[in-house]
Amino acid sequence: MQENTQGKEGSFMVDILKLINVEVERNGKRILKGISLSIKKGMIHALLGPNGSGKSTLAFAIMGVYKLSKGNVYFEGKDISRKPIYERARLGISMAWQSPATFEGLTVKEYLSIGGNANVEEALRMVNLDPARYLDRVMDSSLSGGERKRIELASVVAMKPKLAILDEPDSGIDFVTLDELMRVISDLKKEGITVLLITHREEVARIADRASLICDGYLVKSGNTWEVTKFFRKMCGRCKYGRYSEVKGIEPS
Amino acid sequence: MSLVDIYRSLGVTLDKGIAYLVVDGNEILKANEVRGISMEKEETREGIDLRLVIKEGIKLKEPIHLCFGVSKERAVQKIHAEIIAERDSHACLLAHCIFPKAKEVHHVMDGNLLIEKGAELSYEEIHWHGEEGGADVFPRLRTRNLGDFRSTFSLLRGRVGRLGIDYLVEAGERSVTEIITKVYGKGNDEIRIKEGVSLNGAYARSVIKSRIAVRDRAFSDVVSITEGNAPYVRGHVDGTEIVQGEAIAKATPIVKVNHEKAKVTHEAAIGSVDRKQLETLMAKGLEEKEAIDVIIKGMLR
C-alpha cells in the first residue's frame, strides 16, 4: 500500500499514513463517513474543519483509541487497522491530546520518560519550559491548562515519533504561546517528523505543506494548504452549522 | 534474619542519635531514647504498653522509629500506646509494621494521642504484610488535637489480609488535622476504614484523604466522617477508589455541620481506571496492564 508520488519540488514523497474508506461509529451514530486520505512523509499536514466535524475522531481512529467500523489504516505500508494503541505507539505514532489527562502522583519527568525516552530535559526546553522547575512537578490539576498542553507537546517531542498527531494544540493558549507552538511544529518537521496538525484555525493551518478539510464526517477537500484554507473560509461563511449537505453546493475556486 | 536486620535492610535507621523502639510480637528487641523525649515501655502477655512523651518545646530533627513487627507466622500482638506531644514540640513518628511471614498474625494497635497547643506531630504508619494475606490488622487511634496533626497510613506492599482502621480526631481551636490513607488490596483482602474528625474548636481545619485500589476479589469499605461543630471551621473529605476485576469498593463520605458558620465539603470518585488516563499512557507505548500499574502506583504514592 506504500505509494510514491511526485512532490512539488520534484522529489519522490512516500505516504507514511494512508486511510482508505475509514468509518467510525460512536453510540450508533456514524461519525466518520468513508474517509480516504494520504499523509506524506516528512510533511506537515493540517486537518481543518469546524467544531464537531470529526477531526479528533479521526485522530483517535489513527491512534487506535477508536475502532474502525469500516475501512483500513496503513502506516508505512503496513495495515495497522486492528493493532492496539500501544503497538501503534511502538511503531512510531504519537499523539498530543487536545485536553491532556492529569495524573495524581506522577511527575512530569516520569510522564515524559514513559516508553524509555531519554531526552526529557531537551523536550521540555523545546516547548520553552525550564526543566529545573518542571521535572519534579506532579502531573495533576496544580498545572495550568497551558502548562499541561506544553508538557503534552513535550511528551510527543520526547518520543521522537515518525508521525506526530497534534490534536488542536492551539486551543486555549495565548498568542505568545501560539508563536512558540508554530516554532515547535517547524522544529518537528526539521527533525524529519511527519506532523498531522488538527486545527480549526486557518492561521495555524498555514504552516502546513498540505491540508485536508473535514465536514460532518466527510472529507471535503484535500491538497494545497492555500486552496484548502481558502475553501474552508468560504465554507465557514456560507455554512452556519458546517453540514456536508451545505458544503456540497460550494464549488472550490 | 532477625527483625532488627530486616528493619535495617529496609533502610530504617537504628543509630545512637535516633530514638527508636523495636518490638517483635511482645518482645522488646531494642530501644533508644534521645534528649527531649521519654519512652516508658513494658512487655505484656500479648504485646507491649508504651507511653511516649515529646517534651515541651522540643523540636526533633530526626524521626522516632516505632518498629512493631512480628517475625513468626502465627502470633497476636497488641500495642497499647499513649503518645503526647507537649506544647510547642515538633516530632515525626514513623511506625513500621512488618509481618513478612504472616499466616495468622493478629495485630491490634490501640493508641491515644494528645497534641497540645503549638505542637506539631506527624504520625506515619507504614505496613508490609508479606504475600500470604494472613494478617489481621486493627489500628485504632483516638486523638485530641490542639496543634497540628498529620497522619499517613500506607499498606501498599504485599497482601493486606484483613484491615480495620478506626481513627477519630477531636480537633480543637485553630488546629490542623490531615489524615491520609493509602491501601492496595488484592486477592480476597478485606479493607474496612472508618476515619472521623470532629472540628470542635473555632477555625479548626481538617482534610481526610483516602486512596484505595482493589483488584481480584478484594473488598473495601471506606467511611469518612467530618463534623463541623464550631464557627469558621473548614473540613474536607476526599476519597478515590479504583476497582479492578471482581473487587468491590464502597465509599461513604459523611459530612455534618452543627454550626451556621462551619463549612465541610466532600468529593469522592469510585470506579475503574480512568479511560482517558489509560489511553494516554497506552498511546505512549504501554500495554494496558502496565498503564494501569502506573496509574495506581501514582494514585497511591
Q: Confidence band (pLDDT; 50, 70, 90) for A249?
A: low
**φ/ψ of residue A60, rounded to 5:** -65, -35
pLDDT at A50: 87
Higher pLDDT, B144 or A237: B144
Instruction: Show Cβ contacts of residue A208 under 8 Å, excluding neighbours closer than 6 positions.
Output: A43, A44, A45, A46, A195, A197, A225
Give the dihedral sign, CA B225/B228/B232/B233: negative
CB contact under 8 A, A104 and B240: yes
| Number of neighbours of residue A174 by Cβ within 10 angstroms | 9
Q: How far apart are CA A252 and CA A231, in angstroms?
A: 6
Helices and strands, number each (H, E), in chain B: 3, 19
Between chain A and chain B, the number of residue pairs with CB atoms below 8 A apart is 58
pLDDT at position B3, please?
A: 87
ipTM for the predicted complex: 0.89
Lowest average pLDDT, out of A3-7, A175-179, B157-161, B165-169, goes to A3-7
Q: Could you write out the DSSP letters of every residue in B236-294? A: EEEEEEEE-TT-EEEEEEEEEE-STT-EEEEEEEEES--HHHHHHHHTTT--HHHHHHH
Q: Is pLDDT of B266 > 90?
A: yes
CB neighbours of residue A28 within 10 Å: 5
pLDDT at A4 over 50: no
**Span B217-228, pLDDT tens digits:** 999 999 999 999
pLDDT bracket for residue A119 (50, 70, 90): confident
Residues of A in contact with B297 (CB under 8 A): 105
- Cell 489481621, residue? B136
B45 near A CB under 8 A: no
Q: Which residue has the higher pLDDT, B134 or B114?
A: B114
Q: Residue A244: pLDDT above 70? A: no
Query: By CA distance, what is B281's nearest residue in A?
Result: A114
- Judged against a pLDDT cut of 70, whether residue A10 lies above it is answered with no
Contact B281 A105 (CB under 8 A): no
**SS3 at position A228:** helix
Closest among B130, B129, B128, B55 to B91, alpha carbons compared: B55
- Asked if the Cβ–Cβ distance from B282 to A155 is below 8 Å, we say no
More confidently predicted of A68 and A51: A68
Phi, psi (degrees; rounded to nearest 5) at A177: -65, -35
Query: Tell me: the pLDDT tens digits for A85-118?
Result: 999 999 999 999 999 999 999 999 999 999 777 7
- Shortest CA gap A206–chain B (Å): 27
Chain A nearest-CA distance from B182, in A, is 12
Residues of chain B with Cβ-Cβ distance to A115 below 8 Å are 284-286
Residue A225, φ and ψ in degrees, nearest 5: -60, -45
Helix, strand or coil, per DSSP, at residue A217: coil
Contacts of B267 in chain A (CB under 8 A): none
Per CB-CB distance under 8 Å, the chain B contacts of A80 are: none
Find out whether B163 and B155 touch, Cβ atoms under 8 Å: yes
Cell 511506625 -> residue = B95
Task: Test B280 with A115 for CB contact under 8 angstroms.
Answer: no
Q: Do B295 and A103 touch (CB under 8 A)?
A: yes
Task: Name the pLDDT band for A239 (thresholds 50, 70, 90).
Answer: low
With a pLDDT cut of 90, the percent of chain B lying above it is 89
Closest chain B residue by Cα to residue A105: B298
C-alpha–C-alpha distance, residues B164 and A52, integer Å: 50
Q: What is the pLDDT of residues B83-120, one digit of tens each?
A: 999 999 999 999 999 998 899 999 999 999 999 999 99
- The answer, for A118 touching chain B at a CB cutoff of 8 Å, is no
CB A184 within 8 A of CB A150: no
CA dist B163 and B220 (Å) reads 9
- Residues of A (71-110) whose Cβ lies below 8 Å from B: 84-86, 88-90, 94-95, 97, 100-101, 103-106
Output the pTM of the full model. Answer: 0.84
Least confident of A100-109, B10-19, B132-141: B10-19
CA diameter of chain B: 58
Per the CB < 8 A criterion, the answer to whether B235 and B197 are in contact is: yes
**Residue range A13-31: average pLDDT?**
94
